[in-house]
Structure 1
Amino acid sequence: MPIHHKLVRDRIPEIIEKTGKSYETRVLDQDEYIQSLKTKLQEELQEYLTSVNDKEATVELADLLEIIHVLSQIHGNSIEEVEAIRKQKAEERGSFKEKIFLISVDD
């Protein structure tokens, strides 16, 4: 039996069960949960960084966004609050759409 030791989406046990396979899970405590989400965030980011086409990239971005939704709740906010902060920062400091790459600043 392969050992995974990783956070999985809520319906994965149900999906595994439908295949007739057995599995073992446990519910994480809050500290383990946050650490596992951070690990999952890094994993999904790495998968995005190594994606080879737009479709793969979009799937990985969706995974990242799901984790961001959960993390925003853990930190006592809604995704709408996170989005409001994102919009405020974009208004005050801009976005990244103009492809500006800073080379240097004279002191």
Structure 2
Amino acid sequence: MPIYNKLVRDRIPEVIEEDGKKFSTRILETEEYIKELKKKSFEELNEYVNTQNDKDAIEELADLLEIIHALAECHGASFETVEEVRKQKAEKRGGFKEKIFLIEVKDE
């Protein structure tokens, strides 16, 4: 039996059970849950970075977004709150739409 020791989506045990397989799980405490969400975010980001087409990229971005929703809730905020902060930062500092690549800043 493979050992995974990782955070999975809520319905994964159902899927495994429907395949007729046995498994074991446990419910994480809050601190460990946040730690595992952070680890999962790197896993999903790495999967996104390694995509080769738009369809797969969108799938991985959706996974990242799910993690962001969960982390926002852990930190006592809604996704809407995170989105509002994003908008405020974009208003103040801009977004990334103009594709600006900073090469250097000379100190005088």
Place the TM-score, normalised by the shorter chain, in its bin.
Answer: over 0.9
Q: Kindly provide the amino acid, as one letter, of the partner of residue 33 in structure 2.
A: Y
Number of residue-to-residue matches in the alignment:
107
Structure 1 spans left out of the alignment, 5+ residues: none
How far residue 106 of structure 1 moved from its aligned partner, in angstroms, is 2.1
The match for 1:13 is 13
Q: Kindly provide the amino acid, as one letter, of the partner of residue 90 in structure 1.
A: A
The match for 1:43 is 43
Aligned partners of 1:79 and 1:31: how far apart in 2?
Answer: 20
Q: Kindly provide the amino acid, as one letter, of the partner of residue 106 in structure 1.
A: K
Q: CA RMSD in A?
A: 0.6
| Large movers: runs of 4+ above 3 Å | none
Aligned partners of 1:74 and 1:27: how far apart in 2?
Answer: 15
The match for 1:59 is 59
Question: Equivalent residues in 2 for 1:26-105 (5 A)?
Answer: 26-105=26-105
Q: Tell me the alpha carbon deviations over residues 74-104 of structure 1, each in whole angstroms, 9 at most, x when there is no partner.
A: 0011000000010111111110000001111
Q: Tell me the alpha carbon deviations over residues 29-54 of structure 1, each in whole angstroms, 9 at most, x when there is no partner.
A: 11111111011000000000001111
Q: Tell me the alpha carbon deviations over residues 9-31 of structure 1, each in whole angstroms, 9 at most, x when there is no partner.
A: 00000111111111100111111
TM-score, normalisation: structure 2: 0.97
Identity across matched positions, percent:
64
Whether 2:18 is the aligned partner of 1:4: answer no
Aligned partners of 2:43 and 2:91: how far apart in 1?
Answer: 30
Q: Secondary structure at the match of 1:105?
A: coil
